[in-house]
Structure 1
């Protein structure tokens, strides 16, 4: 016969008359198990074979089994000396289905349910589900969705399983209809309204969502309101109450904030207390608050931060500096005392890196200015972070300092990085609007195999260029940052395909480069390059490259008038041979001034030296948002080269935050070049060009500035037949025997020896995109042109420097850093253009490495 004890809940106590007396457990048997193992029950059961138990022990055992959460009913009975445990397991969750949610993603809901013990395969607990539904409704209310409701359904399935259904009705977000600040006298309602992130419904609210009530946003607005008053001397300012009311239809929110402004306080005295460690004079130079000023909380807290950072530079990373205001209500003055507690000087035990799955630790460690075992310096730790950001290998760099457990004077410094593409690797299929289809295999990597070295290998073919190159640069050829690199190359260019004059070049050569760091933010460089250049000009090459008109091999030195030519053609059609040509003296041929090839030849060997200086305080190597950079280079071919010339180039950019989300970028590029020795001009193939990406957007690439003079041809006419067809062409002459000349084609962009470019951009975040670290969008105004100090009389659009001839455009641009390189778009309109300039509204590049 069995005696049973049934416990329906943890708190239920039943009479145990059948087994009121103690007995010795000879065995334990568990019944009713399906998924839970017997071992789980035995490990949770506080009873063992051989124990003598009474009703108290049985109650304790029941509670212990309920605490596992696996069972919804437990019965414990006795069969002779055997303790029988009969259980009914809770059902397992087979499937979870969520419908109706948009504002909160399904993945986030499932994660929240899992964190609370509700996920597929886990034991179902109804109380947990009900509590989770209530919490979810509270989250929707916090978003201003007061009409939201969450219903749950539990469908029982065979084999003790259930399916959970969560049905969400999010409703709509209540819009803010009115924000009222009561008690303000010093500032108008309009002034205070500008402080709030929450706004009443406006014409841009659909985009900004600033009229959607949120408890978190309101809390932030109240903090900003308090700071606004405290920063203007209202030391007694208080927010006495806040009311948020809802319309009956739960669609409109009304916010009322009751404030008490108080009086304006003036600083009567500024004092220092504690141990400043450094000299008091140095600390006083960091003070932003002065006697006689209106009290400002932001100045007081910023001063505390400055002093803390200064002590941190001396190794006191745990320093505490607190500004304490002591108001005197009688005369509305306040004494500010800065209490300084430097703590112990800290030393760096270890520097660690996380997130660099591709880049070697050595590459990061060599950028460190904070050394291990040295005293900690806040400035050096931050400087090391900035140097990592400037590498261009990482989307983001974060740094944390942690106190070493068990010590009071040691810290560990940990840098966490998130890597990003730093070049392009593999086969390339791309398209550039300016150069057409680009095919080839290339590797252009600024972080080769995570070593920090720059390697470029490529064979590329496009409509205007065939190029092969290899380049290598080791930025840490020596441990102190001296760089060394070299390159070899071969190029064939057909410049008529990229909006330039009709000529071809074949170039091959190589060079070596060195760089030396002058300081943390600047370095100098020296490049030595040799190149062999061959020029190829056609009969259609412009007059600046090759003189024209010239003799044609298939044309007789005879002349014929148009009237005579018509007779010859008629005779040829009638099968009658005739020749009415007249001989022309070669002195009648008049050519233009000698072109570059006529004067200097078409093959050159040049040895060029380039000295450069670069300075950068940019916060990032790619898509920077603050800081400045400038680069100056001077290139010249050494005396004895076939062509002796020099070029100076300056580029600079400057970033300045305008607001929390807007940044101003100013950019300029200037260039000047000329010849020396026997060369009286800059070689035309070294000319500067402007227009397109990186220059003046909204204009076709390389089309701004001086134009070439088209080649001229002597007009040819038929002058002899064989009775059936024309067998000979002659030059056309007029009735007076003068040769007729015509031009071939249009004037092409030719470039000049002076470049002036400038740009102003306002960088802004794109709406609806959370992670914008690989994106940068901007409104821009570009201006620039190319000028020349030795314009030929026949050239058009050629001027000496004249800022009245600057081209101007405005538009919007977007750059996205992908694994294949940057993808860049611009949409621009020319605001000011010169005659013969070529505009282009939409421009893009795809597949090019940076």
Structure 2
């Protein structure tokens, strides 16, 4: 019998029936009736309500057996699995996380109401993304043991496109001007990338805020967006947006003043106020003023400073006075700096890059600089700095540096292929953060059809606590002219070298470097393959060398040959014949020095900042050849839009001889490779130190090393020989937000450059120019770059190569 329909009685015992997964103890916890209580209609209804509210049961009944209360329940089924299909715009893991927050997760109790709420929420989210045709279809499959499988099928459909945006009421400015910078727009040629023609309520709200800012920045204090209408076509594919505005009148500044506790002398704060009496009001300039004051106070410890601009509006005179009220708050010290996420990097390596110190006054500028220095290490993919307040200490904060490490080292053994060098065999160990110390260790052995290379290097970036770096390099390379794909003059070049490098920081962005090294360069030439002007340079500057190999004239088996000239006769006395090869050993003491200013914000993929590098290399007196090389490298990165950046770069190099080498006379060749009879000139910089241009890392779209002077053996075969003066540069537009991965970047470039025999030969019309697209990827195995370029300015004889790629770096 139903207990709730019976007269009141005293409960002597309670029994629960129908439980499968839920324990009886859980029911007793929520049941507001205990043994000894009197159960009547009111308390019965309350008990049933309490058990229903748990969400565990689909049915609850109270029955009476004598004075025993029997609670009969029917449990809701448990969710066995949740499956999502068809969703692309919203990731499954994000959706499942949202479902879990409302109790719809595997192992939880199934509630149909919760599933209905999920359906409505998904429809709302897709509508916000402009997909009004989206449909959400949930299905529930019953299983044994009171379980269910839930499947949510999503049909996203296509996003509705904005067909028209109409602004009504604008008189002072045309619509195209006030809509600059909007995220919403009608379909255009960039919509495939920017997706600006896809309607979104959030984007439209942001654009209307930009509209308000546009007018407030131009003095329209009374500007107002009176209404907005969004209409959708019957087929739900086209969106029509209309905004009605009231511009109002332009206001000017009647006065500005600074009040409150300014900490610094008030005249110093007043210098930060951008707006002056008589200026047109601008909310942007008001915000820049408040930000400047807050930043100034923040850099001397007032981390929570606030500046409240208080307006005094005179609507009759159309003027506005502004009082900047300064509330500095407490002066804050940094109590402790902690690092999180640096599994392989020691705290010391990170701490020495910090410019905010423990126990020092808080400085936002020092914190920002610390982040940039950590980014430029190249050890971390992500860096985030938090400043939580210390509980109970309003004048103290902690600094928490959260990092996500990237692989800063690699060991590679394998075979590969490079476009210009063919099959490559590599054994390479590079560790930019050796054992977490920040030291760089590199060991490499590489073989390809063009060269054999070996190098060993070590750099300690903090040899002293002041940041003086010390490095050592040993290397050996053997370049062969047998591979014409390298596009270099054909001579063998074996170089063994060692050097010591010292780096000295001057400021946060400036440093100087010096190195002293010794090298031995063994050059082998072939009279039949090496351009004569290169051989003649060595002969004129260093003296001739014996030819090799040496051999007798072979037996020609001609019976008419006199016996005295026949090698078959052991008593022959005919002279030796000399081979076509000659070899020079060029020993050098090499001094390098340079100055660098680097304000770039990242080591691998910078988006802001500038690099200036000036270098000088001197082959010192006492070397077999005496010469120098001067270089200047410039790079500038800036964001034009959040989705678009610009890299501007220039690389200029110049070299010449001096001293004994300058005093020697070398033979002269014309532009066609013919010797000028009787003419001589001072010997210049040796050809093996010449500059080259063209290729994936220079002027893309041209074959590697082919731009510049060359020696023509025949009409179809020529050898690039480089030159002592280089001018190479680029303008490259990059898209930093196109890929979710910060290690991948798409760019559109315009490259230019050429190599000359002297500064006086430079002419703008002789520059080679190309344009194209490139993709760079900082892969775990090394940097990969692929480009496709079209030459815009070239000579008929230039060697074009549109598709180019590089994989990894070279030692």
TM bracket, shorter-chain basis: 0.7 to 0.9
- The CA distance in 1 between the partners of 2:626 and 2:177, in whole Å, is 66
**Which of 600, 624, 640 is the equivalent residue of 1:642?**
624
Describe the shift of the 1:100–1:773 C-alpha distance in structure 2 as closer, same or farther (beyond 3 A).
Answer: closer
Are the equivalent residues in 2 in contact too, given 1:691–1:699 (CA < 8 A)? yes
* CA displacement, residues 470-506 of structure 1 (integer Å, 9 cap, x when unaligned): 1010111112111111122222111442211121122
State yes or no: 1:316 paired with 2:302.
Answer: yes
The Cα shift of 1:319 comes to: 0.1
* CA displacement, residues 666-694 of structure 1 (integer Å, 9 cap, x when unaligned): 21112122223322332222221111133
The Cα shift of 1:60 comes to: 5.2
State yes or no: 1:654 paired with 2:640.
Answer: no
* CA displacement, residues 736-789 of structure 1 (integer Å, 9 cap, x when unaligned): xxxxxxx8994311122222222222223475x3x1411222222222222224
State yes or no: 1:667 paired with 2:629.
Answer: no
Identify unmatched segments of 5+ residues in structure 2: 566-577, 663-683
The Cα shift of 1:427 comes to: 1.9
Detail structure 1 runs of 4+ shifted over 6 Å in the superposition.
548-552, 554-557
The Cα shift of 1:79 comes to: 4.5
Aligned positions of 1:327-726 closer than 5 A: 327-422=313-408, 424-497=410-483, 498-540=486-528, 541-546=530-535, 602-680=584-662, 681-708=684-711, 710=713
Are the equivalent residues in 1 in contact too, given 2:701–2:801 (CA < 8 A)? yes
* CA displacement, residues 499-552 of structure 1 (integer Å, 9 cap, x when unaligned): 111211222232211111101101111112122222222333221343599899
Describe the shift of the 1:103–1:23 C-alpha distance in structure 2 as closer, same or farther (beyond 3 A).
Answer: closer
Are the equivalent residues in 2 in contact too, given 1:543–1:709 (CA < 8 A)? no
Are the equivalent residues in 2 in contact too, given 1:423–1:821 (CA < 8 A)? no
Match of 1:717 in 2: none
- The CA distance in 2 between the partners of 1:555 and 1:755, in whole Å, is 47
* CA displacement, residues 67-92 of structure 1 (integer Å, 9 cap, x when unaligned): 43222223344555655433221111
Are the equivalent residues in 2 in contact too, given 1:514–1:527 (CA < 8 A)? yes
- The CA distance in 1 between the partners of 2:301 and 2:331, in whole Å, is 5
- The CA distance in 1 between the partners of 2:134 and 2:534, in whole Å, is 77
Are the equivalent residues in 2 in contact too, given 1:421–1:821 (CA < 8 A)? no
State yes or no: 1:846 paired with 2:801.
Answer: no
* CA displacement, residues 408-448 of structure 1 (integer Å, 9 cap, x when unaligned): 10111222223334454322433221222221210123222
- The CA distance in 1 between the partners of 2:189 and 2:766, in whole Å, is 41
Match of 1:764 in 2: 735
The Cα shift of 1:292 comes to: 1.1
The Cα shift of 1:450 comes to: 2.9
Name the stretch that deviates more: 94-103 or 320-329.
94-103
- The CA distance in 2 between the partners of 1:670 and 1:372, in whole Å, is 44
- The CA distance in 1 between the partners of 2:227 and 2:796, in whole Å, is 67
Size of the alignment, in residue pairs?
Answer: 766
The Cα shift of 1:347 comes to: 0.5
* CA displacement, residues 208-242 of structure 1 (integer Å, 9 cap, x when unaligned): 43222211111111101101110110000011111
- The CA distance in 1 between the partners of 2:775 and 2:278, in whole Å, is 49
Describe the shift of the 1:545–1:122 C-alpha distance in structure 2 as closer, same or farther (beyond 3 A).
Answer: same
- The CA distance in 2 between the partners of 1:665 and 1:98, in whole Å, is 43
- The CA distance in 2 between the partners of 1:70 and 1:841, in whole Å, is 67
Match of 1:809 in 2: 770
* CA displacement, residues 589-616 of structure 1 (integer Å, 9 cap, x when unaligned): xx9xxx9x98xx7123322121121110
Match of 2:756 in 1: 787
- The CA distance in 2 between the partners of 1:426 and 1:181, in whole Å, is 60
Describe the shift of the 1:614–1:190 C-alpha distance in structure 2 as closer, same or farther (beyond 3 A).
Answer: closer
Describe the shift of the 1:494–1:551 C-alpha distance in structure 2 as closer, same or farther (beyond 3 A).
Answer: closer
Match of 1:747 in 2: 718
Give the TM-score taking structure 1 as reference length. Answer: 0.84
Describe the shift of the 1:385–1:404 C-alpha distance in structure 2 as closer, same or farther (beyond 3 A).
Answer: same
Match of 1:718 in 2: none
- The CA distance in 1 between the partners of 2:37 and 2:161, in whole Å, is 69
Match of 1:777 in 2: 746
Are the equivalent residues in 1 in contact too, given 2:9–2:67 (CA < 8 A)? no
Are the equivalent residues in 1 in contact too, given 2:412–2:426 (CA < 8 A)? no
Describe the shift of the 1:99–1:821 C-alpha distance in structure 2 as closer, same or farther (beyond 3 A).
Answer: closer
Are the equivalent residues in 2 in contact too, given 1:423–1:820 (CA < 8 A)? no
Describe the shift of the 1:577–1:804 C-alpha distance in structure 2 as closer, same or farther (beyond 3 A).
Answer: same
The Cα shift of 1:64 comes to: 4.3
State yes or no: 1:217 paired with 2:203.
Answer: yes
- The CA distance in 2 between the partners of 1:473 and 1:195, in whole Å, is 47
Q: Secondary structure at the match of 1:748?
A: strand
Describe the shift of the 1:802–1:553 C-alpha distance in structure 2 as closer, same or farther (beyond 3 A).
Answer: farther
* CA displacement, residues 452-475 of structure 1 (integer Å, 9 cap, x when unaligned): 211111111111111221101011
* CA displacement, residues 167-226 of structure 1 (integer Å, 9 cap, x when unaligned): 434344333233222222112233334453222344554554322221111111110110
The Cα shift of 1:53 comes to: 4.8
Give the TM-score taking structure 2 as reference length. Answer: 0.88
The Cα shift of 1:150 comes to: 2.6
Name the stretch that deviates more: 138-147 or 809-818.
138-147
**Which of 19, 42, 58 is the equivalent residue of 1:33?**
19
- The CA distance in 1 between the partners of 2:156 and 2:549, in whole Å, is 83
State yes or no: 1:75 paired with 2:75.
Answer: no
Q: CA RMSD in A?
A: 3.1
Match of 2:681 in 1: none
The Cα shift of 1:620 comes to: 0.8
Are the equivalent residues in 2 in contact too, given 1:239–1:258 (CA < 8 A)? yes
The Cα shift of 1:59 comes to: 5.4
The Cα shift of 1:821 comes to: 1.0
Which is bigger in relative contact order (C-alpha 8 A, separation at least 6)?
1
Q: Secondary structure at the match of 1:376?
A: coil
Describe the shift of the 1:285–1:496 C-alpha distance in structure 2 as closer, same or farther (beyond 3 A).
Answer: farther
Q: Secondary structure at the match of 2:289?
A: helix
